[in-house]
Chains A and B, each alone.
Chain A
Amino acid sequence: MIFQMKKIIYLLIFSFSFSFAKESPTKPVQIQIWHQMIYSHREVLARAITTFENSNPGVKIRATYRETEELRSAFQSAAMGGSGPHLIYGPSDQVGPFAAMGLISPLENELPTEFWNQFDSLAVPVYQDHRYIVGDTVGNHLMLIYNRKIVKNPPATIAELIAQAKQYTIDSDKDSKINQWGLVFNFTEPFFFVPWINAFGEGFLKNQIEPNLNTTATQAAFTFIQDLKIKHKVIPPECDYEMANSLFKEGRAAFIINGDWSWGDYKEAKIDFGIAPLPQNEVTKLWPAPLVGTKGYSLNANITDSEEKKITLKVLQFLTSEQVQTLFLAEVGTLPSNLNLRSQAGVKNNAQLTASAQVMLYGQAMPMVPEVRAVWDSLRKHYQAVLGGQELPVTASEAAQLDAIKQISNMNNVTQPGLQAKLISGLLIVILILLSFFLLRRFPEFIRALRAQPLYWAMLLPSLLIIFLIVVYPFFYNILISISNFGLRTFKDWQIIGLQNYVEVFSDFQFYSVLLKTIIWTVTNVATHVAIGLALAIFIDQLLPFKGLWRVLLIIPWAIPQYITALTWRGLFNQEYGPINHFLQTWFQLPAVQWLSQPFTTFFACFITNVWLGFPFMMVVALGGLQSIPQSLYEAAKIDGANEWQRFKLITWPLLLPVMIPAALLGFIWTFNNLNVVWLVSNSGEPADQTHILVSYVYKSAFNLYRYGYAAALSLIIFILLMAYGFWFVHKKSLKEKTSI
C-alpha cells in the first residue's frame, strides 16, 4: 500500500512531465568514473584513460573528481535515483556503507582468479565474504615525516620524540610567539589520534567492528596528546590540517605526522624530508598502529546490462593493471598494489617507498564496516572535549564508548512498520482525498476567476507551477521520509513506520539545547545586522561625502561567495597565525585566544563571520528606506526645534520600520537556516559537536550518520517552527498596519 502511495504521488507529479529523445544507439559507449584523486594524481589518470581510449575506439571514459565526503553523498543520491557512475574510486572505508546500502556489486565472481592473485591482499579486502573493491595502491597511512634540515636522526621512542620536539621548538626572537615548532599535526582529528592508542595497550576496535574505547590505553593516549600540548608545549595549541601543512612547508616545523599523500606537496615546496615510523612507546614496548588501507575501484550496483558491465570490468582491469600502476609509481610515487611490480627496482630502490612500506608493518587494517563512522564520531566529540579541558580522560573514554554503542544501534536499528504505520498512511490518504475533494470543489470557482481575469492568471500560473514542481514536491517527499525508517540498512526498501522519528527528536535533550543555541544565534545576529546596517546607512546618507565610495566598499562582503569567505575567516581566527590574534596581541597586549577550540569562542567566531556577511544587506535596505523619506520632514522638524535624537526617533525610525521589518524577517529565516557559516567556520561543529545550530545538526545526522528519516523529521520541525514564527510575525496587528505583507 505504501509503495502504491509513493507511486501515486510520482504519477501526480510527473503526469505533466515531458520526456526527451533517447540517445541514438550508434554513439560510443561511455563509462563514467567518479574519483577523489588529488590534483597531481588526476593528471596521471587522464593519461591512463587516453591510452585505454586509443586502443578501444568504441569506448569513451569520463572521469569526474569529487572531494571525498562529497563523493560519498553524491554517489548515494545518484545511486538512489537509479543512476550514478559505472565505477567509483575511493578509500576502502567507504566500501562498508555502500555495500550495506546495496549500492555496489560484489566482484569476486566477475573476475578470474589470476586477476585477484596479482594483488597484495590489503588491496582486495574481503567484506562480509565478498570483494567489493580493487585497489591500485596500498598505504594511505600516517607516518612521522621530518625536515632533514632540522632533524638529523629521527626518534625511535616517544620519549626521544618529546625530547627532540622540545629542542626544536624555538622562539628565536623572544616575543613569546613560537617561530619553529617541534611537532605539528592535525591532532584534534581521530584519524590522527587512534594510532597512539595502540602504543598504550589495546586498539580502538574489537573484532574489527565493536568499539573498544573505554580502556586505559585510550585514557593514556588522551593524556599523552594533552601533555604534548600543555605540559611539553611542543605542538601548536590549535593546529588543524592546513596549518600543520603550511608550517611544515615553510620549514617552520621539525616533525609532521601525515600520510603518504602529502609527499608530492612537500616535494613541490622543496622541503628535504625523511620518513620514519611513529615512535615506539619505550614503557610498553608497543608501537603506534596507523590505519592502513587501500584506494580502489568499486562497481555501481545499478550497472546490470551485461554488455555495459563487461566493458566496465575491462576498464576496471585496465586501471588496476600493472601498466597503469607503473605509470602512477613513476609519476606520483604511490606504493603499487601489484605484487609483481612491488618486487621490481622501481619500488625497491625508492627510499621513500621502502621506508613507507616499513611503517606499514606496524599498521592496522583500515576498518570497512559502516559502524566505524559512529566510532569516529563519538571519539571525536569526547576527545575534543578532553583537549578543551571540559572532560577528564577517564570519564571521556567511558562516555565515548557509550555514545558509540548508542550511535551504532541508532544506525543499525530498523523499526518495522506496525499498527501505527497503517494508521498514519491511512490518515495521509484521507488527507490527500480530502484535499483533492476540496480543490475539486473550488475548481469551478477557479475557472470563473480564470475567465474573469485571464491575463492575470496567465502571468501568475507559470511561476506557481514551477515553484510547485521544484519546491513543493520535495517538501512532500520529505514528509514521507520523515515518517519512514529510511536509513543505512533500509536504503533501497524503506517503509513508512509512523511518528517514531519525531518522538526521538523530542525526547533527545540535545535537540532543546541546539534549539536554544539556534535562537540565540539568530536573534543576536539579526539584531546586530540591523543595528550596524542602520547606523552605517544613516552615517552614509546624512553625514558624509563620497557616498558612492563607502557604499561600494561596504557592500563587498555581500558580493563574495559565502563558502570562500567562511573558509577565509577560519584562517583569520587561527590561534597562532591568524591576523585577529596578532592584532589583539600587538595593539592591546592581550594573550592569544584559542578561538576555534572552545565552544563559546568558536560560536563567537561564527558570529563575527556572519555579521560580516550580513550587515551589507541591511545597510542597503536601510539606505533605500532613507531615500524615500522626504527631506522636507526634517526641515519642518528643525524649524520646530527638534534635536538630532528627536528627529531620529520621530521621523527616521518610524518611517524606516516598514522597510526594515520584512527585511529583518527574511534575515531571521536566512540566518536560522544558514548552514555554510557554522559548518565551515567551526569545521562541522567542532569542538566536540558543541557549535551546532539546527540545520548543521540535521546535515550531520543525514549525511554523516545515514539517518535520513530522523534528519527529515528534524527539518520538518525546523520548518514548522519557522512557519509558526512567520505567521505570528505577519499577523501581529501593529505590524499589519505598517507593512504590506
Chain B
Amino acid sequence: MKKIFALVVIILFSVFSIYPVLYVLTVSLRTDQAFQANQLNFFGDNTGFQNFTRLITETDFLIWFRNSVLVSGTSTILGVTMAATAAYALSRYSFKAKRWILFSLLTTQMFPATMLMLPFFIILAKLQLINSFMGLFIIYASTALPFCIWQMKAYYDTLPIDLEEAALLDGCSKWQVFYKIILPISSPALVITGLFSFMAAWSEYMIAAIVLQDPALYTLPLGLKSFQASLATQWGLYAAAALIVSIPVVLLFFMLSRYLISGLTVGSVKG
C-alpha cells in the first residue's frame, strides 16, 4: 500500500519533470519555426527532422559545440584544481581569519549577478582579455570557486583525520598525504564539484555575451541566442539546439549519478 502510494507520487513527479522536455521536442520537430504547440504532436503534417539537419549543415553549431566543450572543460579543470587545494587547506589548517574567509566565500553568492557585468567588462578590457577564451576561463573558474571550495571542504571535513596522522607517522610529507591519500578517496566530491563547474560554464550566457564578440568564438548559449531575435525567433532551430545542448549534461548526470549521491554533502556532519 505504502509502496503503491510512493510509486504513484514518483511517477507523477517523473511526468512533471519530463513533460516540458517533451514539449521542447515537439517544437523542435515543427517546421514552421513557431513556438506554441497545440498539444504534444510528434507526427503532424509539418513535423520532421529538418531543424536538426539544418542545425548541423547550415549553422555553425559544431563550432559552437567545440568552443563550449573547450571553455567548460578548461574552466572546470582550473576550478576543481584550485578548489580541491584551497578547500583542503581550509579544512585541515586552522588560523585566525579562517572563519572570516569561509563566511566571505558564502557572501560572494549573495551579490546580484547582473550588477557584476559592467565591472567584469572593465577588468577584462584592462587586462586585454576581451574576445579571448582566457577571459572566460578566469571568470568561470573564479565565480564557481566559492561554491566548489565550500563543497570540497565539507567533504574533507567528513574524512577522519587518523588516516593522515598515520601516513605522516609513516614518513609521508604533507603534500604526499594530500596527493596520494586524500585526493583519491575524495573522488566523489571532486566529480561533483567538477560537474557543478561544468554545468555553470556550459549554460552561462550573460558573461559570454560581453566577453566574446567574434562569432567564431561563440559558445553554445550565444549561438542559441542568435536564433532568437526580438520579434522573429527561429523557434524550431532554437528548440533543436536546446535539446542537443542539454544532452551532454544529462549524459554526464547519468554517468555520474553514482557519485552524485555520495559526493554531495553540502556542509555535512561534524566528525
Q: Contact: A466 with B141, CB < 8 Å?
A: yes
In the complex the two chains form, what is the Cα distance from A695 to B202 in whole Å? 23
User: Which of A85, A470, A741 interacts with B138 by CB under 8 Å?
Assistant: A470
- The interface residues of chain B lying within 8 Å CB-to-CB of A550 are 10, 14
Given A81-B122, A464-B86, A658-B269: A18 touches B127 (CB 8 Å cut-off):
yes
Interface string of A63-75 (1 = CB under 8 A from B): 1111111100010
- State which residues 80-116 of A face B: CB under 8 Å: 80-83, 85
**How many Å from the CB of B13 to the closest CB on chain A?**
6
**Which stretch from A122-130, A239-247, A287-295, A416-424 is at the chain B interface?**
A239-247
Residues B215-253 near A (CB distance < 8 A): 215, 221, 224-235, 242, 245-246, 249-250, 252-253
Does B57 make an interface contact (CB < 8 A)?
no
Q: With a CB–CB cut-off of 8 A, which chain A residues contact B130?
A: 81, 83
Contact of A536 (CB < 8 Å), options: B13, B120, B260: B13
Q: Is the CB of A722 within 8 A of B39?
A: no
Complex: chain A residue closest to B215, CB-CB: A64
Q: Which residues of B contact A740 (CB under 8 A)?
A: 154, 157, 267-270
State whether A561 touches B242 (Cβ < 8 A): yes
A20 to B13, CA, bound (A): 53
Contact across chains for B253 and A711 when beta carbons are under 8 A apart: no
Partner of B103, one of A77, A711, A727: A727
Q: How far is the CB of A260 from chain B (nearest CB, A)?
A: 11
Check if B253 sits within 8 Å of A540, measured CB to CB.
no
Shortest A682–chain B CB gap in Å is: 16
Question: Considering the chains assembled together, what is the distance between the CA atoms of A612 and B23 in angstroms?
Answer: 15
Report if B62 contacts A (CB, 8 A): no
For the complex, is A529 an interface residue (Cβ under 8 Å from B)?
A: no
B18, B125, B253, B257: the one contacting A81 at CB < 8 Å is B125
Binary interface profile of A, 26-70, with partner B (CB < 8 Å = 1, else 0)?
000000101010110000000000000000000000111111111
CB of A557 within 8 Å of the partner chain: yes
Instruction: Give the number of residues in B that approach A within 8 Å (Cβ atoms).
Output: 119
Q: Determine the chain A residues whose CB is within 8 A of the CB of B113 once the complex forms.
A: 673, 675
Q: A262-B232, A558-B253 are in contact. Are A579 and B106 (CB under 8 A)?
A: no
On chain A, the residues within 8 Å of B103 by CB distance are 726-727, 730
Contact B102 A741 (CB under 8 A): yes
Does B56 reach chain A (CB closer than 8 Å)? Answer: no
Residue pair A539, B6 in contact (C-beta under 8 Å): yes
Measured CB to CB, the closest approach of chain B to A507, in angstroms, equals 21
Q: Is A261 an interface residue (CB 8 A)?
A: yes
B186 at interface, CB cutoff 8 A? no
Contact at B229–A551, with CB atoms within 8 Å?
no
Contacts of A18 in B (CB 8 A): 127
Q: Which residues of B contact A715 (CB under 8 A)?
A: 111-112, 114-115
* Per-residue contact bits, chain A 543-574, to B (CB 8 Å; 1 contact, 0 not): 11000101111111111111111001101101
Q: Which residues of B contact A723 (CB under 8 A)?
A: 107, 110
**Closest residue on chain B to residue A445 by CB atoms:** B96
Q: Does B21 contact A (CB under 8 A)?
A: yes
Least Cβ distance of A694 to chain B in Å? 8
Beta-carbon contacts under 8 Å, B62-91 to A: 82-83, 85-86, 88-90
Cα separation A460 to B149 with both chains bound (whole Å): 10
Contact check, B114 vs A698: say whether CB atoms are below 8 A apart: yes
- Partner of A471 from B108, B174, B233, B262 at Cβ < 8 Å: B108
Chain A window 615-647, contacts with chain B (Cβ cutoff 8 Å), 1 for yes, 0 for no: 110001101110110000000000000001000
Bound state CA distance, A559 and B227, in angstroms? Answer: 22
Interface residues of B in 137-158 (CB under 8 A from A): 138-139, 141-143, 145-147, 149, 154, 157
Taken together as a complex, chains A and B put the C-alpha atoms of A459 and B93 apart, in Å, by 11
Residues on the A chain within 8 Å of B18, using CB? 553, 556
B20 A568 Cβ-Cβ under 8 A = yes
Interface pair B108/A467, CB less than 8 Å apart: yes
A330 contacts B by Cβ under 8 Å: no
Once the chains bind, are A77 and B210 in contact (CB under 8 Å)?
yes
Whether a CB of chain B sits under 8 angstroms from the CB of A514 is no
Q: Is the CB of A67 within 8 A of B230?
A: yes
Number of interface residues of A (CB under 8 A): 142
A463 at the interface (CB under 8 A from B): yes
The verdict on A388 contacting chain B, using a C-beta distance below 8 Å, is: no
Would you call A568 and B24 a contact (CB within 8 A)?
A: yes
Q: Which residues of A contact B118 (CB under 8 A)?
A: 77, 80, 477, 708
8 Å CB contact of A269 from B32, B138, B233: B32
Q: Are A739 and B123 in contact, with the CB atoms below 8 A?
A: no
Structural contact, B230 and A460, CB atoms closer than 8 A: no
Q: Do the beta carbons of A624 and B246 come within 8 Å of each other? A: no
Give the most central of B86, B90, B101, B235: most A CB within 10 Å.
Answer: B86
Interface residues in A303-328 (C-beta closer than 8 Å to B): none
Let me know if B143 and A471 touch, CB within 8 A: yes
Interface of B is mostly: helix
B43 within 8 Å of A (CB atoms): no
Name the residue on B nearest A69 (C-beta).
Answer: B230
CB-based nearest B residue for A556: B17
A543 lies within 8 A of B112 (CB): no
A563 to B263 Cα, complex, angstroms:
27
Known contacts A552-B254, A556-B250, A559-B246; A457 and B263 CB within 8 A of each other: no
Q: Check if A577 is an interface residue, CB within 8 A of chain B.
A: yes
User: Separation in Å of the A335 CB from the closest CB of chain B?
Assistant: 17
Q: Is the CB of B229 within 8 A of A67?
A: yes
Rounded to whole Å, the gap between the CB of A141 and the closest CB of chain B is: 13
* A19 interface residue per 8 A CB criterion: yes
A430 interface contact, C-beta 8 A: no
User: Is A455 on the interface with B (CB-CB < 8 A)?
Assistant: yes
Instruction: Output the least CB separation between B102 and chain A (Å).
Output: 7
Contact with B along A715-740 (1 / 0, CB 8 A): 10011001100110010000000111
Cα-based distance from A197 to B122 in the complex (angstroms): 44
Decide yes or no whether A592 CB sits under 8 A from chain B.
no
Contact check, B205 vs A563: say whether CB atoms are below 8 A apart. yes
B181 CB to nearest A CB, Å = 15
Q: Inside 8 A of B261's CB, which chain A residues have their CB? A: 551, 620, 623-624, 627
Interface flag for B199 (CB, 8 Å): yes
Please tell me which one of the listed residues A36, A445, A673, A727 contacts residue B230 in the complex, with CB atoms under 8 A apart. A36
Known: A459-B88, A562-B203. A17 touches B9 (CB 8 A): no
Report whether B39 and A582 are in contact in the complex, using a CB–CB cutoff of 8 Å. yes
| Distance, CA A243 to CA B231, complexed state (A) | 11
The reply to whether the CB of A474 lies closer than 8 angstroms to some CB of chain B is yes
Contacts of A259 in B (CB 8 A): 231
Is the pair B246, A561 in contact by a Cβ cutoff of 8 Å?
A: yes
Is A414 in the interface zone, CB < 8 Å from B?
Answer: no
| B49 close to chain A: CB less than 8 A | no
Q: Would you call B17 and A616 a contact (CB within 8 A)?
A: yes
Bound CA span A460–B90, Å: 8
Q: Are B34 and A249 in contact (CB under 8 A)?
A: yes
B109 at the interface (CB under 8 A from A): yes
| A5 CB, min distance to chain B CBs, angstroms | 16
Complex Cα distance, B86 from A300, in Å, reads 44
Q: A535 vs B117: C-alpha distance in the bound complex, in angstroms?
A: 38
Q: Which residues of A contact B123 (CB under 8 A)?
A: 13, 469-470, 473-474
Give the distance in Å from the alpha carbon of A501 to the alpha carbon of B107 in the complex: 23
Tell me if A673 and B260 are in contact (CB < 8 A). no
List 22 A–B pairs whose Cβ atoms lie within 8 Å, in order of A's numbering.
A19-B127, A38-B229, A38-B232, A78-B121, A242-B35, A249-B34, A269-B32, A269-B33, A462-B82, A467-B105, A469-B142, A474-B115, A556-B21, A561-B242, A624-B263, A658-B267, A675-B114, A703-B114, A722-B110, A726-B110, A739-B267, A740-B269
Interchain residue pairs A-B with the least CB separation, the first 3: A662-B267, A474-B119, A561-B203
| Interface, chain B (partner A; CB < 8 A) | 2-3, 6-7, 9-10, 13-14, 16-21, 23-24, 27, 32-40, 82-83, 85-86, 88-90, 92-93, 95-96, 101-103, 105-123, 125-128, 130, 138-139, 141-143, 145-147, 149, 154, 157, 174-175, 199, 202-203, 205, 209-210, 213-215, 221, 224-235, 242, 245-246, 249-250, 252-254, 257, 260-270
- Beyond A474-B120, A719-B107, 8 additional pairs, beta carbon < 8 A: A64-B213, A471-B111, A562-B203, A563-B221, A564-B24, A577-B38, A669-B110, A739-B268
